[in-house]
Amino acid sequence: MVRSNEEVAALLAEYADLISITGGEAYKARVYEKAARAIGGHHADVATLDVKGLQEIPGVGKSIAEKVTEYFRNGSVSAVEELRAKIPAGVRRLTAIPTLGPKKAHTLYEELGISSVDELVEAVHAEKLRDLKGFGPRTEEKILHGVELLQSAGGRVLLDVAMDLAEDLVAQLSGATGCRRCTYAGSLRRVRETIGDIDVLVAARKSAPLMRAFTELPYVSEVVAQGTAKTSVRTTKGLAVDLRVVSPDAWGAALQYFTGSKAHNIRTRELAVRQGLKLSEYGLFDAESGKKIVSETEEEVYARLGLPWIPPTLREDRGEIEAGLRDELPGLIQESDLRGDLHTHTDLTDGLAPLEEMVAAAAERGYAYYAVTDHGPNLYMQQMTDERMLAQREQVRKLDGAYGKHGRRGGMRLLHGAELNIDPDGDVDWPQDFLAGFDLCVASVHSHFNQTREQLTRRIVRACENPFVNIIGHPTARIIGKRPGIDVDLDEVFAACARTGTALEVNAHADRLDLRDEDILRARRHGVKFAVDSDAHSVLHLANVRYGVGTAQRGWLNKNDVINTWTEARLRRFLRKEGTDRGTRS
């Protein structure tokens, strides 16, 4: 179920967009954007806070706090409703198009009266945008591509949104009368990056109590269809959920079937047919006699087909069947394998929590080491200076080992790092003598996304060749559903990473998941190492590593592939980039 904080964050973010669309002050819009991020990442439920308590959240002033309490009191905010009334809903929909921000949406509405995605597409094809300031043929191409991305997403939601709801559903139904077993299945169990709908599976002798408990959940807005074996609902957040109740002795076959993918299931059914068997959601049967052979557990089903149990994250027909038959399935990385997090932020730049809070929260996760990597000065809005960064380094050194206990050597070790900005020519923040003082550096592309393929490729390769760059952060710079990945020759980048000893990040933020699973598979063949990082900007974000681990599993990674599963000593050897100019210096 979506947290109150996230509801309020979405409302304030919408208000910021509405301010921009209606030509309001850019500063005011930024204030609400910052407040939205702060509330979304706040650890406590904002529904329980009064105005004074809300003002203790960084970036939340009295006016914003009063709007939040008004929302919980009335279910709406008058200031937001007033701006909504001024702008057709279709114009707000325009801002969801990747690469088309509120300012351009406002211009299109004011100058051409465009108030829907369809009207925008027609205007582009009629070349009506070219006379507007800031628009041109290249902008038209980007808009059409953005519309394609928006439409291809359909009603799909990000992984974390679906996971929150699914886990709440499972918790609620697990306590219902007669429930023997309960879990989510489908693409969510396979940890796909976006989810169209949620499949929940229950094992029970009688389905009626489960179906009744399901339809009576407070966030069910509509019962689409109801039966003894399957009930479909739509939730207040617009997500469709299917509940299937199966007999306990058919649990394994049903879970295997409803987890998918379709392509994987076709392959398993083909294996069954070749052995004179028939596989369905009800069990594995002898094709001639119809006698049920196995069905109670997934392990039994796979074993009877001559396969080991195949982890759900691999079930995409990308070679897992063949690997299973050869007994060569990878021992996939697990969240428990992570010894630390190598990309995180504090309120020194765009994070929401101070250093001490982030470090304490990381220690509670049981990490052996933890890196603080705030932004460098080339992202000018972060206002970083040498002095501020060195002052943080001193703080980090004082806190090193002060939190958590890991054996006889003391507490969690802290690494002081930075997230560097990869400039258009491939340079990064600070000269090498300053970079030498960091324990590690993450380098990322944050701007100039529209360079040519050759320029972007050379840009990242140059960053890899920098002896003080250890990790390429969110390598394609994509934001799911909002910004496509940059057009770069990934194979050349992968080769450069392998050659220079630079790791590629699997950024675990649910709106990034960058690298994608398909790219991880390719990079691994080049011999690249990876870092599964949270890119946390708040204490709550540290838990996002679960989504990065799921993506890494989909890319067939084992823990040896991921540098932050290694011991601190082995990690530090890697960070020295042995074989580079840096690695040969004393």
Checking if the pLDDT of 306 tops 60, the result is: yes
Q: What does the alpha-carbon distance between residue 225 and residue 218 come to, in Å, rounded to a whole number? A: 17
Contact, 565 vs 333, CB < 8 A? yes
Checking if the pLDDT of 584 tops 60, the result is: no
Which of 94-103, 196-205, 553-562 has the least mean pLDDT?
Answer: 94-103
H or E segment to which residue 582 belongs: helix 581-584
Q: Which residue has the higher pLDDT, 160 or 583?
A: 160
Residue reference for tokens 């910004």: 483
The length of the chain, given as a count of residues: 586
Per-residue DSSP letter, 480: T
With b for 16 or more beta-carbon neighbours within 10 A and e for fewer, the 242-262 pattern comes to bbbbbbeebbbbbbbbbbbbe
> 176 by DSSP, 3-state: which?
coil
Q: Per CATH, is 262-325 categorized as 3.30.210.10?
A: yes
pLDDT, tens digit (0-9, with 9 covering 90-100), for 420-443: 999 999 999 999 999 999 999 999
Checking if the pLDDT of 367 tops 60, the result is: yes
User: Do β-strands 197-203 and 240-246 pair in parallel, antiparallel, or remain unpaired?
Assistant: parallel
Which of 72-76, 145-149, 155-159, 183-187 has the least mean pLDDT?
Answer: 145-149
Q: What does the alpha-carbon distance between residue 520 and residue 528 come to, in Å, rounded to a whole number? A: 9
Taking alpha carbons only, the member of 194, 218, 189, 205 closest to residue 510 is: 194
Residue 147: pLDDT band with limits 50, 70, 90: confident
Q: What does the alpha-carbon distance between residue 32 and residue 13 come to, in Å, rounded to a whole number? A: 7
- Count CB atoms within 10 A of the CB of residue 562: 23
Whole-Å CA distances, 523 to 490, 494, 500, 581: 8, 5, 14, 24
Q: Which residue has the higher pLDDT, 234 or 335?
A: 335
Strand order across the 283-286 sheet: 277-280, 283-286, 292-294
Which of 388-392, 525-529, 581-585 has the least mean pLDDT?
Answer: 581-585
Per-residue DSSP letter, 236: T
pLDDT, tens digit (0-9, with 9 covering 90-100), for 510-550: 999 999 999 999 999 999 999 999 999 999 999 999 999 99
Token pair of 153 as six digits: 């997403």
Contact, 352 vs 538, CB < 8 A? yes
Checking if the pLDDT of 462 tops 50, the result is: yes
Whole-Å CA distances, 459 to 26, 427, 562, 564: 31, 8, 24, 25
Q: What does the alpha-carbon distance between residue 46 and residue 68 come to, in Å, rounded to a whole number? A: 8
Averaged pLDDT, 253-282: 96
Token pair of 211 as six digits: 């179906």
pLDDT of residue 310: 98
Which of 22-31, 219-228, 383-392, 457-466 has the least mean pLDDT?
Answer: 22-31
Residue 124: pLDDT band with limits 50, 70, 90: confident
Q: What angle do CA 166, 171, 174 make, to 5 degrees?
A: 115
Mean of pLDDT over the chain: 90
Whole-Å CA distances, 366 to 338, 359, 406, 411: 9, 11, 8, 10
pLDDT, tens digit (0-9, with 9 covering 90-100), for 193-247: 999 899 999 999 999 999 999 999 988 888 999 999 999 998 887 789 999 999 9
Q: What percent of the chain has pLDDT over 90?
A: 65
Checking if the pLDDT of 93 tops 80, the result is: no
> Strands, DSSP E only, in 147-269?
157-158, 181-184, 194-195, 197-203, 220-226, 230-235, 240-246
pLDDT of residue 150: 67
Averaged pLDDT, 248-274: 96
Averaged pLDDT, 497-501: 97
For the domain made up of 339-578, the CATH class stated in words is alpha beta
Helices (H), 208-275: 208-215, 251-259, 262-274
Whole-Å CA distances, 164 to 159, 170, 434, 481, 509: 9, 10, 42, 19, 14
Residue reference for tokens 């050349």: 492
pLDDT of residue 407: 43
User: Do β-strands 471-472 and 440-444 pair in parallel, antiparallel, or remain unpaired?
Assistant: parallel
First to last CA, the chain: 54
Fold of 157-246: Beta Polymerase; domain 2 (3.30.460)
Superfamily the domain 4-153 falls into: DNA polymerase beta, N-terminal domain-like (1.10.150.110)
Q: Which residue has the higher pLDDT, 21 or 571?
A: 571
Q: What does the alpha-carbon distance between residue 349 and residue 389 come to, in Å, rounded to a whole number? A: 10
pLDDT of residue 521: 95
The domain locations on the chain are 4-153, 157-246, 262-325, 339-578
pLDDT of residue 579: 57
Residue 16: pLDDT band with limits 50, 70, 90: confident
Q: Which residue has the higher pLDDT, 237 or 498?
A: 498
Which residues pair with residue 508 across a beta bridge?
A: none
Burial of residue 503 (CB within 10 Å: 0-12, 13-18, 19+) is buried
Checking if the pLDDT of 339 tops 70, the result is: yes
Following DSSP, what letter does each residue of 289-331 receive, concatenated? T--EEE-S-HHHHHHHTT-PPPPGGGTTTSSHHHHHHTT----
Contact, 332 vs 311, CB < 8 A? yes
